[in-house]
Structures are given as structure tokens and as C-alpha cells.
Amino acid sequence: MKKSSRLLHNNTAARRSRQRQMFIKDARARRQARQEVFFIQEKSSS
């Protein structure tokens, strides 16, 4: 019983960490895209 509950906790923790990694990756990609758009706007304005 105790072993299974700990296994369940590890499973949920792994899922949560995976979601956090996906969110961090998504935020990083979004920031990079925003920088690229900013550079394009700078080039077009000059």
C-alpha cells in the first residue's frame, strides 16, 4: 500500500515536471520568436 502510494506520487511528480518543462520550452520559443519579430521590424524601419 505504502509502496504503491509512493509510486503514484512519483508518477504525478514526473508528469508535473514534464508539464513544467514543456511550459518552459514554450515560453523560451515564444520569447525567441518575439525577438526575431523585433529584429525584422528594426531592419524594415531602418
Overall domain count for the chain: 1
Q: What is the mean pLDDT of the chain?
A: 86
Instruction: Check residue 9 and report its DSSP letter.
Output: H
Angle 19-14-30 (CA atoms, 0-180°, nearest 5)?
20
CA distance 17 to 21: 6
Task: Give the residue numbers spanning the domain of 42.
Answer: 1-46
Nearest Cα residue to 39 out of 31, 28, 24? 31
Q: Does residue 5 register a pLDDT over 80?
A: no
- State mean pLDDT over 17-24: 94
What pLDDT is recorded for position 1? 57
| Confidence category of residue 18, pLDDT binned at 50, 70, 90 | very high
pTM: 0.52
Bigger pLDDT: 42 vs 27: 27
- State mean pLDDT over 14-39: 92
